[in-house]
Amino acid sequence: MSRKFPCVDPPPADPRTRRQYWRELPEHGPLVGIRGGWGLHITDHEAIMDAFADPEVWRPGIGDIDQLANDPVQRQQYRAELRHILTRPEIPELRAQAREIVEAVAPQGCCEVHALATEYASRALWSVLGWPPETRPLLIDAWTLPGLGRFAPQVQTAITACARRLRELTDIPSADARRIVATLVNAGVRTTASAITFGLLEIARNPQLRAHLRPGFLGLHLKTQVGGHLRDHPEDIGPFCHEALRLDPPIPAVIRNPSRQVHMDGVAIPAGTEVRLPIATLNTRDGADVAIEDGKICPRKHFTFGYNARRCVGAELGALEVRLMIGEFVTAIPEFELAARYEEPAPQRGDPLSREAGQVHLRWNT
Ligand code: HEM
């Protein structure tokens, strides 16, 4: 590359200081390298949007195999077919599933949220897609536990069963259906589970928000205020979830590799270089905290589900699951607090879904 660009340390582990980190990233320059395997990031807002808008030059992902289809016409067709299924979920059924999971833990006085959220996100996905329920534990373990072979024969048999069902619902041919089943498991469960976890973590530990919502309260009551507010103002659950998705995007940056050499700020980026578009930087442009005006949560625009041709096909389903699960949680358990310090796991190298939530242990009085 022709010119040097600045390099900075990776994002801090604490979610709130991390938001500020992404917000301030453009101050280092329009192109910033992040050490520790995070790679080269475009930080200029307009340049990020331009890259999103031009998938011909800024090709998504790593390598040559598209997760849906390499042929552009075919991938449009697959996107349309998947969206058709994913945007028509049985909402009462998804709500009942969330309620059942929350009501099972409510009497226990404690839970680990990420496990609960993974259980919910996978149950919801399986029911929307009508996949055989017995395939769920096997496929979830294969995609969430490190070292478990995704090519193990029993995992492949489970994928075949789900692919058969996908072919009953769509015109996706069998040659592609198996890969798309794997994509849906990978793209649809960890993301949503992390978003739910980050949202409940925020409620458990956001004193600024609580102070804003209820000024003048005693520190003793700190932990109850957001849950209390959401319980008293159920109409704010939707806006809160929107803000949680904005502030803690489960995919903080998407990967692109230019199909030709691109010049940016005096730097020549060779074709095929892995470049990241930091969604977390776009999202925090107008603020790195939950936006509240006149005592109401005011959702701001976010790009948590991406933008343009590659925008997430499960965006509506993911957002719905976040709203249902967080809504059911704060309704059944209005007062809760962190039971242990939150530790963010290090991102898995080379994995575009690099920001998975860690374990969040909550406790409450029963
Ligand atoms: C909160 C939950 C979710 C978040 C934050 C999220 C985020 C994203 C983002 C940022 C992208 C774009 C990647 C890029 O531009 O390179 C994406 C793509 C995708 N997402 Fe999601 N997603 C979520 C839930 C889901 C769900 C529930 C499904 C479906 C089961 C899903 C399926 C997909 C698929 C198939 C793609 C690839 C689309 C394409 O290549 O055209 N996602 N997601």
H/E element, 7? strand 7-8
Give the pLDDT band of residue 151 (cuts 50, 70, 90).
confident
- Distance between CA 333 and CA 314 in Å, rounded? 28
Residue 251 in contact with ligand 1 by CB distance below 6 A: yes
- Nearest protein CA to atom 36 of ligand 1, as residue: 312
**Over the stretch 287-344, which tens digit does the pLDDT of each residue have?**
998 877 877 888 999 999 999 988 999 999 999 999 999 989 988 887 888 999 888 7
- Alpha carbons within 13 angstroms on the beta-carbon side of residue 351 total 17
Q: How confident is the model at residue 212 (pLDDT cuts 50, 70, 90)?
A: very low
Give me the pLDDT at residue 213, please. Answer: 40
CATH topology of domain 7-363: Cytochrome p450 (1.10.630)
165 burial class (0-12, 13-18, 19+ CB within 10 angstroms)? middle
Assess whether pLDDT exceeds 90 at residue 245. Answer: yes
Q: pLDDT confidence of 221, banded at 50, 70, 90?
A: very low
Comparing 83-97, 128-142, 231-245, the range with the smallest average pLDDT is 231-245
**Three-state helix/strand/coil letters over 318-351:** HHHHHHHHHHHHHHHCCCCEECCCCCCCCCCCCC
Bridge-based pairing state of the strands 7-8 and 39-42: unpaired
> What is the domain partition of the chain in residue ranges?
7-363
The CA 312 to ligand 1 mean position distance, Å, reads 4
Say whether pLDDT at 111 is over 80.
yes
The pLDDT assigned to 71 comes to: 85
Whether 79 lines ligand 1, by a CB cut-off of 6 Å, is yes
Q: Among 127, 181, 191, 194, which is best to mutate for testing ligand 1, by the most ligand atoms less than 8 A from CB? A: 191
Task: Check residue 64 and give its pLDDT.
Answer: 59
Handedness of CA 134, 135, 138, 139 (dihedral sign): negative
Q: Give me the pLDDT at residue 143, please.
A: 81
What's the mean pLDDT in 344-353? 61
Choice between 334 and 165, residue whose per-residue pLDDT is larger: 165
What string of DSSP letters covers 190-216?
A: HHHHHHHHHHHHHHHH-HHHHHHHSTT
Q: Is the CB of 195 under 6 A from ligand 1?
A: yes
Could you give the angle at the alpha carbon of 314 between the alpha carbons of 310 and 316, nearest 5°? Answer: 115
pLDDT at 113 (0 to 100): 97
- What is the Cα–Cα distance from 57 to 42, expressed in whole angstroms? 15
Higher confidence at residue 69 or residue 120? 120
**pLDDT category of residue 231 using cuts at 50, 70 and 90:** low
Contact present, 200 and 329 (Cβ < 8 Å): yes
CB 314 less than 6 A from any atom of ligand 1 = yes
Atom of ligand 1 nearest to the CA of 303: 10
Taking the C-alpha atoms of residue 82 and residue 80, their distance in angstroms, rounded to an integer, is 6
pLDDT value at 2 more than 90: no
